[in-house]
C-alpha cells in the first residue's frame, strides 16, 4: 500500500513541475485581459478590484500588438489609438515578448498563458496576473470579440 502511495506522490510531483508549452501559451495570448494582481520582488502583492482600462492583445504568427482599451456598457471598447508592437520568441523553454518603441525596449516573460489566465514577469521582476475580461451584462446580447474603436478627443 505504501508503494502505491509513493508512486502516486511521485507522479503528482512530476506533473506539478512540468513546464508550460510555449507554443500553447502563444495560442492563448490573444484577447482582452484585465489586471488582477501585481507581485513585486519583495513579496508585496497589490490587488486590482476594478479596472477602467484593460489590455487588448492580438497575435499574428510570431508577432503581436498590445493596446490599452476602455470597455463601454454597450459591449464595445474605446482606445486612444496608441499600441505597442512586440515579437514573440521562445528562449530557454519560455515564451518571451520583445517590445520596441521609439522611446524604449524591453521584454516580458510569459509564466502562464491559459484560456482564462495570463501571468507575465517584466524586467523589474514584477509579476502581473491577468484574467480574461468579462463584458458587462446588461441583458443585451453583444458579439464575442468586438474590435476597439479609436477616440480622438
On whether residue 123 sits in a domain, the answer given is yes
pLDDT of residue 41: 95
Summarize pLDDT for 24-76 with one digit per residue, the tens. Answer: 999 999 999 999 999 999 999 999 998 999 999 999 999 999 999 999 988 89
pLDDT classification of 140: cutoffs 50, 70, 90 = low
Phi, psi (deg, nearest 5) at residue 100:
-150, 120
pLDDT of residue 153: 45
On whether residue 15 sits in a domain, the answer given is no
Cβ pair 65, 81 in contact under 8 A: no
pTM: 0.76
Average pLDDT for the chain: 85
Residue 141 pLDDT greater than 80, yes or no: no
On whether residue 54 sits in a domain, the answer given is yes
Q: How many domains does the chain have?
A: 1
Cell numbers standing for residue 25: 501559451
On whether residue 85 sits in a domain, the answer given is yes
CA distances from 45 to 128, 141, 149 (A): 10, 36, 33
Residue 146 pLDDT greater than 70, yes or no: no
Mean per-residue pLDDT, 83-106: 95
On whether residue 24 sits in a domain, the answer given is no
Q: Which of 121, 32, 122, 40 is nearest to 68 (CA)?
A: 32
On whether residue 122 sits in a domain, the answer given is yes
Cell numbers standing for residue 150: 479609436
HEC assignment per residue over the chain: CHHHHHHHHHHHHHHHCCCCCHHHHHHCCCEEEEEEEEECCCCCEEECCCCCCEEEEEEECCEEEEEEEEECCCCCEEECCCEEEEEEEEECCEEEEEEECCCCEEEEEEEEECCCEEEEECCCCCEEEEEECCCCCCCCCCCCCCCCEECCC
On whether residue 119 sits in a domain, the answer given is yes
Q: Which of 42, 51, 43, 28 is nearest to 111 (CA)?
A: 28
Opening angle at CA 21, ends 19 and 27, nearest 5: 145
CATH number for the domain spanning 64: value is: 2.40.128.280
Find the domain containing 61 and state its range.
30-136
pLDDT of residue 56: 96
Cell numbers standing for residue 140: 443585451
On whether residue 19 sits in a domain, the answer given is no
| Chain mean position to CA 61 | 17
Amino acid at each position: 500500500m505504501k508503494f502505491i502511495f509513493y508512486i502516486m506522490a511521485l507522479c503528482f510531483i512530476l506533473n506539478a513541475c512540468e513546464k508550460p508549452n510555449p507554443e500553447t501559451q502563444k495560442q492563448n495570448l490573444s484577447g482582452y485581459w484585465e489586471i488582477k494582481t501585481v507581485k513585486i520582488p519583495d513579496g508585496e502583492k497589490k490587488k486590482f478590484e476594478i479596472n477602467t482600462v484593460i489590455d487588448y492583445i492580438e497575435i499574428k504568427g510570431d508577432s503581436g500588438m498590445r493596446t490599452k482599451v476602455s470597455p463601454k456598457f454597450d459591449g464595445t471598447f474605446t482606445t486612444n489609438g496608441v499600441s505597442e508592437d512586440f515579437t514573440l520568441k521562445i528562449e530557454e523553454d519560455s515564451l518571451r515578448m520583445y517590445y520596441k518603441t521609439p522611446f524604449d525596449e524591453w521584454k516580458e516573460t510569459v509564466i502562464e498563458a491559459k484560456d482564462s489566465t495570463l501571468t507575465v514577469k517584466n524586467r523589474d521582476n514584477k509579476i502581473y496576473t491577468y484574467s480574461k475580461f468579462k463584458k458587462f451584462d446588461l441583458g443585451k446580447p453583444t458579439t464575442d470579440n468586438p474590435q476597439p474603436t479609436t477616440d480622438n478627443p
